DNA sequence: GCTCTGCGCAGAGGA
């Protein structure tokens, strides 16, 4: 339209106002679901919907912000800063002003590097996201130079820093075939440029003069208003990122490359501008940015200015900052809508792009629209459908991570603490500077506070608010009952810790999916997509003489050409079977990967393997990384994982990443058995490894992409699990499924992430599977219901001893000392319950009495486990029973067992809720005990469901 | 409505 300033474009966006923002003049709104569609079709006029809500209004976006208006889809969030408010026909309306920013989907947090990739080409951004960055030298070197730069800013000595940083990356460098000396020299060259420039900069600063006058020593860079590697999060702009350095409030970005042009590269400017926006929100007023190109040396004079320095300063105008926000809007809108970029969104020319070939191949194989065009033949339809289905599911997981992130400010401290996502009300004790210039922070925690935070986790440590207050990304070094110790780049007077949500796992899942389909072996895909039956090499050998099913399982695992599936119900010795199979493979000279979803499962399986090797082959038959002697006598076993993830007794086998490169790499590459979680299998280092076989334990707890991360690394795979126990936990969709014996197969099956590859293949290829049926855990009476209900009656006690186990077998225990109702192997105790939703104090009190009764009969509290469906009831129960009693949720009890198990159903009157819908959960709960099971709950509630009702009948028999 | 484990975070560079 025409205005007094000339022609202007505008877009009127019908919205529903959200809660007013804290900042004056900012408007947060959601685009109206119906009106927005109409505006699109009738060219910008606001239609007056009949059912207009009271909070409906219009926001007018002027000029270039109309570009962002085009991205909006019904229901998307929109934030306008410094909006103008006026009244029109009795209605408050809003419009952008010259100072306004328009932010689309502000709660979706875009990484700064994502924006940097996007500005180069949206399709390039997508390709990077899809395949991940492989292990290569330029990238590792770049990271090293950045680390050394950070160290210099924190006042660390150059040579000391280089040595330490190179050593830390020994494993990666070794896998790349680099030597420590060569890398150190390479890093030194780059770092010299920085150091020289830093020195020069320091001399010009006033502080330098003052320092020289007042003291013997020079100020460290940090004291001269520098700071390094700050994580910045913007609530307003929906951006997060870590600035290499900030000098007098302005961003400094380091690039380990050469740039002899007058101007910094555009994408580098965009990156710096992102940090400027972040700094602005944190109270800064930024108009310049600096880029440091470390390969620019004195020999390469700047072509125009003749500069010798590697630094390029540039001014950042309003226009650049707003352009960056519009870029970010494009990316966020695409992510929120779940679309795939084509490349047409940007202006890059494909002919100049050196990823052009990859881009065309990926587009061709996945049949995706692409500016570069397609090359080669598309994947078969079922593979493309699979890719789409799973990538959509992974992206939904990614959005769930982003929602978690947005909660950092959407929830207040108390809510987050109640959600176990934060530790609050900490008492700050002290911060101490460490030798490397980092800081150690100490605080006391109030007694009894729980959270999901654990040692080794990355957290946001703040003095009150993780985003608005002063906050640092910190690592939890120690988390004791009453005290905690953190390390961080800068000191913070920490009073609160928040979980820092990460996209790392979703990134790795997506890359695993990509690798399975685009890099995967054709024969493997034939099996995965039901185009070829798994093949087996027939073996005559007997591996486990006293258990036919286990023996058959080992033969299948060892003889598999493609895959073998071992179905192991509770207590059937699946971990032992895996260990036996691995031993057989190692004896055949094969290299084996041992994996599982959780660290706990990996360590359990590894422990069984070590027992197997040492017990059967003899002492000294296993070599941990430290004991390796390379003489081939002992089996080299390596556990890959973080220090905090690996169990204490498995630490000797853990591969340290730091050390002499060649030696580190050899330790990993020569290991015959490598054990790691599936997430670690998706890491850059593990992706460089190849194995003959991959054995995945607890495979029913894994999503299909999660399973691929492990099995992509091996020629054939063995999945071991039980799909009648709990499935993978997925944040994005609350899918549940009713499972019961046989007949009840009419319920819609969950697709995507909640069905494991294990389960799908078991259904697809019954011949490739073996079910273990002898259980070594439960008294016959205990196992009867689960066997009938979940395993078609096939689960049986392995021996008469197992079948006849009772509490009397335990030393010092006399069943006759127990009240009559607790003497049986299975009992039901009817408690009406207090009617609350997720807790039940009556059940808790009754269970506390029982624990006392068991104790009085001679049972050790350490032999008793209490299981509840809800965490709230778990903490209620913990208050009532002695600390030695293991109290936990069903989900967390999976994989372990106890002599006595008491189950607290925590349901009064009805059985509403997804927790009871999934019958696999009761299967887990009922199959944990060896000798006695006590069910405590409201019989009326349990009787409302057919499965629970049958359970009642069995328990009362 | 509920269960909840992983992961060197985000970003390193190439032409």
Decide if pLDDT at A49 tops 80.
no
**Please, what sign has the CA dihedral across residues A113, A118, A122, A124?**
negative
Confidence of residue A213 (pLDDT cuts 50, 70, 90): low
What's residue A752's pLDDT? Answer: 63
Distance of A240 CA from B10 C1′ (whole Å): 9
What's residue A219's pLDDT? Answer: 47
Confidence of residue A735 (pLDDT cuts 50, 70, 90): very low
- Measured from Cα to the C1' atom, the residue closest to B14 is A138
If phi > 0 it is left, if psi is from -120 to 50 it is alpha, else beta; for residue A311 that is beta
**Contact (CB, 8 A) for A453 and A484:** no
* DSSP classification of residue A712: T
> How far is residue A817 from each of residues A90, A641, A822, A827, A884, measured CA to CA in Å?
80, 48, 10, 16, 21
Distance of A454 CA from B4 C1′ (whole Å): 13
**C-alpha to C-alpha distance for A497 and A520, rounded to whole angstroms:** 42
Confidence of residue A200 (pLDDT cuts 50, 70, 90): low
- Measured from Cα to the C1' atom, the residue closest to B1 is A913
Q: Which nucleotide is nearest to A726 (CA to C1')?
A: B3
Percent of chain A with pLDDT over 90: 56
> How far is residue A155 from each of residues A159, A222, A252, A253, A494, measured CA to CA in Å?
12, 7, 17, 18, 23
What's residue A297's pLDDT? Answer: 58
CATH of domain A113-200+222-327: 3.90.320
Lowest mean pLDDT: which of A56-65, A109-118, A446-455, A678-687? A446-455
CATH of domain A780-956: 3.40.50.300
Q: Which nucleotide is nearest to A889 (CA to C1')?
A: B3
Confidence of residue A780 (pLDDT cuts 50, 70, 90): very high
C-beta neighbour count of A165 within 10 angstroms: 24
- Residue A330: which residues within 8 A CB-CB, separation 6 or more? A71, A118, A122, A345
Rg (CA), chain A: 31
> How far is residue A49 from each of residues A40, A211, A914, measured CA to CA in Å?
14, 69, 38
The candidate with the shortest Cα–Cα distance to A918, out of A939, A890, A938, is: A890
Distance of A641 CA from B7 C1′ (whole Å): 10
Q: Which nucleotide is nearest to A169 (CA to C1')?
A: B8
What's residue A205's pLDDT? Answer: 53
- Measured from Cα to the C1' atom, the residue closest to B15 is A354
pLDDT, one tens digit per residue, over A678-723 is 999 999 999 999 999 999 999 999 999 999 999 999 999 999 999 9
Q: Which nucleotide is nearest to A678 (CA to C1')?
A: B6
- Higher pLDDT: A224 or A659? It is A659
pTM of structure? 0.90
CATH of domain A412-501: 2.40.30.270
**C-alpha to C-alpha distance for A428 and A445, rounded to whole angstroms:** 9
Distance of A946 CA from B2 C1′ (whole Å): 21
Distance of A254 CA from B9 C1′ (whole Å): 18
**C-alpha to C-alpha distance for A301 and A293, rounded to whole angstroms:** 13
DSSP assignments along A318-357, one per residue: HHHHHHHHHHHHHHHHHHHHT----STTS---GGG-TTHH
* DSSP classification of residue A560: B
Q: Which nucleotide is nearest to A734 (CA to C1')?
A: B2
Q: Which nucleotide is nearest to A683 (CA to C1')?
A: B7
Query: Which CATH code, of 2.50.20, 2.40.50, 2.60.40, 3.40.50, is assigned to A1-33+55-104?
Result: 2.40.50
Decide if pLDDT at A196 tops 50.
yes
DSSP assignments along A393-420, one per residue: HHHHHHHHHHHHHHHHHHS-HHHHHHTT
Q: Which nucleotide is nearest to A915 (CA to C1')?
A: B2
Percent of chain A with pLDDT over 70: 89
Environment class of residue A631 by beta-carbon count within 10 Å: exposed (0-12), middle (13-18) or buried (19+)? exposed
- Measured from Cα to the C1' atom, the residue closest to B11 is A113
Distance of A121 CA from B14 C1′ (whole Å): 15
What's residue A775's pLDDT? Answer: 95
The candidate with the shortest Cα–Cα distance to A554, out of A396, A720, A427, A434, is: A720
**C-alpha to C-alpha distance for A480 and A474, rounded to whole angstroms:** 16
Distance of A64 CA from B12 C1′ (whole Å): 33
Taking residues A898-915, report their average pLDDT. Answer: 86
Taking residues A307-317, report their average pLDDT. Answer: 78
- Assign A87 to helix, strand or coil: strand
Taking residues A271-277, report their average pLDDT. Answer: 94
Decide if pLDDT at A460 tops 90.
yes
Environment class of residue A538 by beta-carbon count within 10 Å: exposed (0-12), middle (13-18) or buried (19+)? exposed
Distance of A918 CA from B1 C1′ (whole Å): 13
Could you tell me the residue ranges of all domains in chain A? 1-33+55-104, 113-200+222-327, 348-378, 412-501, 522-616+627-731+752-772, 780-956
Taking residues A85-90, report their average pLDDT. Answer: 80
Average pLDDT, rounded, for chain A: 86
Q: Which nucleotide is nearest to A127 (CA to C1')?
A: B14
Confidence of residue A37 (pLDDT cuts 50, 70, 90): very low
Confidence of residue A498 (pLDDT cuts 50, 70, 90): very high
The candidate with the shortest Cα–Cα distance to A664, out of A168, A181, A163, A186, is: A168
What's residue A630's pLDDT? Answer: 60
Dmax (CA) of chain A = 97
Decide if pLDDT at A240 tops 90.
yes
CATH class of A522-616+627-731+752-772: alpha beta
Element (H, E) at A855: helix A841-856
What's residue A45's pLDDT? Answer: 36
**C-alpha to C-alpha distance for A146 and A143, rounded to whole angstroms:** 5
Protein-proximal positions, strand B, CB < 7 A: 1-15
What's residue A147's pLDDT? Answer: 92
Distance of A843 CA from B6 C1′ (whole Å): 34
Taking residues A489-507, report their average pLDDT. Answer: 92
Confidence of residue A221 (pLDDT cuts 50, 70, 90): low
- Assign A443 to helix, strand or coil: strand
Distance of A663 CA from B11 C1′ (whole Å): 27
Domains A1-33+55-104 and A113-200+222-327 share a fold: no
């Amino acid at each position: 339209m025409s205005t007094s300033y000339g022609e202007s474009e505008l877009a009127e966006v019908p919205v529903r106002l959200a809660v007013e923002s804290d900042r004056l003049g900012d408007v947060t709104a959601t685009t109206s679901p119906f009106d927005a569609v109409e505006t699109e079709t009738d060219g910008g006029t606001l239609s007056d919907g009949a059912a207009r809500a009271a909070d409906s209004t219009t926001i007018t976006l002027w000029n270039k912000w109309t570009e962002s208006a085009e991205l909006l889809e019904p229901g998307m969030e929109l934030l306008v800063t410094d909006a103008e408010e006026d009244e029109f026909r009795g209605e408050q309306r809003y419009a952008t002003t010259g100072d306004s920013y328009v932010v689309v989907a502000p709660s979706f947090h875009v990484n700064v590097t994502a924006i940097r990739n996007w500005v180069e080409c949206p399709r390039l951004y997508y390709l990077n996201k899809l395949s991940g960055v492989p292990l290569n030298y330029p990238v590792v070197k770049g990271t090293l130079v950045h680390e050394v730069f950070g160290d210099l800013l924190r006042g660390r000595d150059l040579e000391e820093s280089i040595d330490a940083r190179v050593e830390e990356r020994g494993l990666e460098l070794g896998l790349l075939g680099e030597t420590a000396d060569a890398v150190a020299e390479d890093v030194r060259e780059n770092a010299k440029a920085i150091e020289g420039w830093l020195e020069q900069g320091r001399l010009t600063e006033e502080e330098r003069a003052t320092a020289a006058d007042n003291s013997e020593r020079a100020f460290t860079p940090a004291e001269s208003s520098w700071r390094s590697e700050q994580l910045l999060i913007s609530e307003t702009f929906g951006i997060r990122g870590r600035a290499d350095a900030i000098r007098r409030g302005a961003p400094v970005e380091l690039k380990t490359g050469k740039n002899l042009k007058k101007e910094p590269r555009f994408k580098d400017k965009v990156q710096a501008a992102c940090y400027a926006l972040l700094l602005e929100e944190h109270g800064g007023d930024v108009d310049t940015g600096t880029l440091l190109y470390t390969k620019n040396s004195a020999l390469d004079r700047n072509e125009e200015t003749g500069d010798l320095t590697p630094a390029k300063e540039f001014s950042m105008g309003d226009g650049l900052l707003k352009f960056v926000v519009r870029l970010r809007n494009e990316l966020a809108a695409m992510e929120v809508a779940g679309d795939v970029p084509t490349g047409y969104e940007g202006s890059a020319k494909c002919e100049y792009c050196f990823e052009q070939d990859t881009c065309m191949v990926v587009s061709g194989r996945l049949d995706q629209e692409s500016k570069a065009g397609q090359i080669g033949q598309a994947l078969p339809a079922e593979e493309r459908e699979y890719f789409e289905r799973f990538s959509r599911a992974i992206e939904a997981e990614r959005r769930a991570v982003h929602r978690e992130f947005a909660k950092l400010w959407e929830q207040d401290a108390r809510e987050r603490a109640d959600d176990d996502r934060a530790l609050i009300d900490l008492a700050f004790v002290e911060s101490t500077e460490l030798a490397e210039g980092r800081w150690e922070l100490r605080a006391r925690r109030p007694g009894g506070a729980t959270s999901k935070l654990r040692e080794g986790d990355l957290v946001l440590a703040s003095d009150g608010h993780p985003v608005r207050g002063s906050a640092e990304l910190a690592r939890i070094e120690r988390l004791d009952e009453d005290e905690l110790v953190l390390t961080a780049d800068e000191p913070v007077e920490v009073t609160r810790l928040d979980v820092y949500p990460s996209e790392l796992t979703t990134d790795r899942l997506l890359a695993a999916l990509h690798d399975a389909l685009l890099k995967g072996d054709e024969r493997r895909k034939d099996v995965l997509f039901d185009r070829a039956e798994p093949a087996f090499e027939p073996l005559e050998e007997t591996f486990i003489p006293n258990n036919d099913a286990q023996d058959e399982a080992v033969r299948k695992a060892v003889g598999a050409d493609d895959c073998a599936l071992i179905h192991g119900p509770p207590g059937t010795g699946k971990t032992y079977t895996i260990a036996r199979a691995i031993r057989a493979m190692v004896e055949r000279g094969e290299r084996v990967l041992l994996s599982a979803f959780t660290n706990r499962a990996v360590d359990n399986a590894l422990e069984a393997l070590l027992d197997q090797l040492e017990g059967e082959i003899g002492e000294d038959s296993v070599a941990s990384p430290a004991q390796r002697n390379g003489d081939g006598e002992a089996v080299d076993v390596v556990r890959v994982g973080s220090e905090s993830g690996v169990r204490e007794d498995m630490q000797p086998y853990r591969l340290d990443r730091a050390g002499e490169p060649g030696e580190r790499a050899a330790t990993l590459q020569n290991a015959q058995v490598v054990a790691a979680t599936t997430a670690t299998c998706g890491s850059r280092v593990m992706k460089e490894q190849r194995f003959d076989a991959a054995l995945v334990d607890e495979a029913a707890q894994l999503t299909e992409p999660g399973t691929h991360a492990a099995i992509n690394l091996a020629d054939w795979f063995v999945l071991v699990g039980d799909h009648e126990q709990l499935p993978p936990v997925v944040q994005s969709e609350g899918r549940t499924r009713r499972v019961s014996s046989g007949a009840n197969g009419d319920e819609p099956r969950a697709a995507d992430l909640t069905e494991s590859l294990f389960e799908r293949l078991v259904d697809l290829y019954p011949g490739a599977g073996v079910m273990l049926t002898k259980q070594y855990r439960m008294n016959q009476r205990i196992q009867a219901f689960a066997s009938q209900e979940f395993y078609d009656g096939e689960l049986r006690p392995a021996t008469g001893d197992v079948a006849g186990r009772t509490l009397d077998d335990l030393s010092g225990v006399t069943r006759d000392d127990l009240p009559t109702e607790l003497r049986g192997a299975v009992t039901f105790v009817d408690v009406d319950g207090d009617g609350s939703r997720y807790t039940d104090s009556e059940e808790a009190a009754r269970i506390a009495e029982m624990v006392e009764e068991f104790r009085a009969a001679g049972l050790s509290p350490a032999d008793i486990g209490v299981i509840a469906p809800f965490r709230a009831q778990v903490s209620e129960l913990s208050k009532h029973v002695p600390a030695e009693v293991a109290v936990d949720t069903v989900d967390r009890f999976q994989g372990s067992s106890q002599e006595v198990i008491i189950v607290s159903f925590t349901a009064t009157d009805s059985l509403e809720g997804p927790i009871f819908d999934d019958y696999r959960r009761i299967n887990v709960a009922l199959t944990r005990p060896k000798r006695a099971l006590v069910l405590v709950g409201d019989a009326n509630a349990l009787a409302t469901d057919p499965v629970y009702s049958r359970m009642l009948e069995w328990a009362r028999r």
